[in-house]
Structure 1
Amino acid sequence: MAMAEPAVVLFDGAGGAELTGVRDMVTGAFSTPAITVGAGDGPLSLDVDSGTLTDGDRRVRPAVVWTRHRAPGTLVAHARPAGSMSALAASAWADFLGEVCAAATTTLPGTAPAGTAQVRSAGRLGVRVPRTVLSTDVAAAARQLGTDRVMVKIPDFRLAEPDPRSWAPHLPVVLDAPAVQDSGGHPVVVQEYVAHVRELRVYYLNGTLCAFDVGKRNPAATWTDPASVSVARTDCPGAAAVVVRALAAAWGLRYAAFDLLVTGTGEVVFLEANPDGDWLWYERRARWHGVTFLAAVMLRELFDAAR
Structure 2
Amino acid sequence: MTKAARPVLVVAEQLDAAADMVVDQLNQRDVPVMRFDVAEFPQQLTLTGSHLPQEPGWGGTIDDGRRTARLEEVRAVYWRRPARPLIAGTVPEPYATWAQNQADAAILNVLSALPGVPWLNNPNADRVAAHKPQQLVAATRCGMTVPRSIITNSPDAARNFAREVDGPLICKPILGGRLDIGEERRLMVATHRVDPAEFDDSIRTTAHYFQADIPKAYEVRLIAVGGQVFGGKLVTTSEAAGIDWRTDYGHIEYDTVEIPDDVATSVRWFLASYGIAFGAFDFAVTPAGQWVFFENNPAGTWGWVENRTGLPIAAAHAEYLMGATV
* Cα deviation code 1:184-207 (max 9, x no counterpart): 944342222222323111111111
**AA at the equivalent of 2:274:** W
Match of 1:226 in 2: 249
Report the secondary structure of 2:306's partner residue: helix
CA distance 1:293–1:125, change in 2 (3 Å): closer
The yes-or-no answer on 1:109 pairing with 2:121 is yes
**Greater C-alpha radius of gyration:** 2
Greater alpha carbon shift after TM alignment, 183-192 vs 118-127: 183-192
Residue 39 of structure 1 pairs with residue 38 of structure 2: yes
1:225 to partner: Cα distance: 2.1
**Residue in structure 2 matched with residue 7 of structure 1 by the alignment:** 7
Kept in 1: contact 2:171–2:208 (CA 8 A):
yes
Paired position in structure 1 for 2:270: 247
1:13 Cα deviation (Å)? 6.0
> Cα gap change, 1:175/1:184 in structure 2, threshold over 3 Å: closer, same or farther?
same
Single out whichever of 17-26 and 107-116 deviates more from structure 2.
Answer: 107-116
- Match for residue 261 of structure 2 among 209, 225, 238: 238
SS at match of 2:30: coil
Give distance in 2, aligned partners of 1:201 and 1:236: 11
Instruction: Report the alpha carbon displacement of residue 268 of structure 1 after superposing the two structures with TM.
Output: 2.3
Q: Identify which range, 104-113 or 265-274, moves more after superposition.
A: 104-113
Paired residue for 2:210? Answer: 190
| Contact 1:222–1:229, Cα closer than 8 Å, also in 2 | yes
Describe the shift of the 1:142–1:150 C-alpha distance in structure 2 as closer, same or farther (beyond 3 A). Answer: farther
Stretch moving more, 273-282 or 138-147: 138-147
Name 1:288's counterpart in structure 2: 310
Tell me how far apart the structure 1 counterparts of residues 19 and 251 of structure 2 sit (CA, whole Å).
27
Task: Please state whether the residue corresponding to 1:266 is helix, strand or coil.
Answer: coil
- Report the count of equivalent residues: 289
The structural deviation recorded for 1:31 is 0.5
Residue 183 of structure 1: how far off its partner (Å):
6.0
Q: Tell me if 1:204 matches 2:206.
A: no
Task: Specify the alignment match of 1:29 in structure 2.
Answer: 28
Deviations 1:188-245 (A, max 9, x none): 4222222232311111111111111112333565443211122212222333223212
Measured after TM superposition, the shift of residue 39 of structure 1 is 2.2
Query: Could you tell me which residue of structure 2 aligns to residue 91 of structure 1?
Result: 101
5+ residue gaps, structure 2: 52-57, 88-92
TM-score relative to the length of structure 1: 0.79
Contact residue 219 and residue 235 of structure 2 kept, 8 A? yes
C-alpha displacement of 1:281: 2.2
**CA distance in structure 1 between the partners assigned to 2:154 and 2:80 by the alignment:** 32
Greater displacement, 198-207 / 157-166: 157-166
Deviation at residue 155 of structure 1 after TM alignment: 5.0
CA distance in 2, matches of 1:270, 1:223: 17
Deviation digits for residues 22-81 of structure 1 (CA, Å, limit 9, x no counterpart): 11220x2111111222122122204132433322241333221121336xxx749x99xx
Q: Secondary structure at the match of 1:31?
A: coil
The equivalences for 1:101-180 within 5 A come to 101-103=112-114, 105-109=117-121, 111=125, 113=129, 114-136=131-153, 140-141=157-158, 143-144=160-161, 146-147=164-165, 148-154=167-173, 157-158=176-177, 165-167=185-187, 170-180=189-199
Task: State the TM-score, normalized to the length of structure 2.
Answer: 0.75
Amino acid at match of 1:192: A
Looking at structure 2, the residues matched to 13 and 143 of structure 1 have their Cα atoms a distance apart, in angstroms, of 46
Question: Would you say the 8 A contact 1:139–1:178 is kept in 2?
Answer: no
Question: In structure 2, do the counterparts of structure 1 residues 66 and 187 end up closer, same or farther at CA, with 3 Å as the change threshold?
Answer: farther
Q: CA RMSD in A?
A: 3.5
Residues 132-151 of structure 1 deviation map (CA, whole Å, 9 limit, x = unaligned):
22234577435335322222
Deviation of 1:102 after TM superposition, in Å, equals 1.9
Distance 1:198 1:90, change over 3 A: farther
Aligned CA distance change for structure 1 residues 261 and 88 (closer, same or farther; 3 Å): farther
Aligned equivalents of 2:309, 2:110: Cα separation in 1: 38
* Range with greater deviation from structure 2 (30-39 or 12-21): 12-21
Query: For residue 82 of structure 1, what is the aligned residue in structure 2?
Result: none
Cα 1:46–1:133 shift into 2, 3 Å: farther
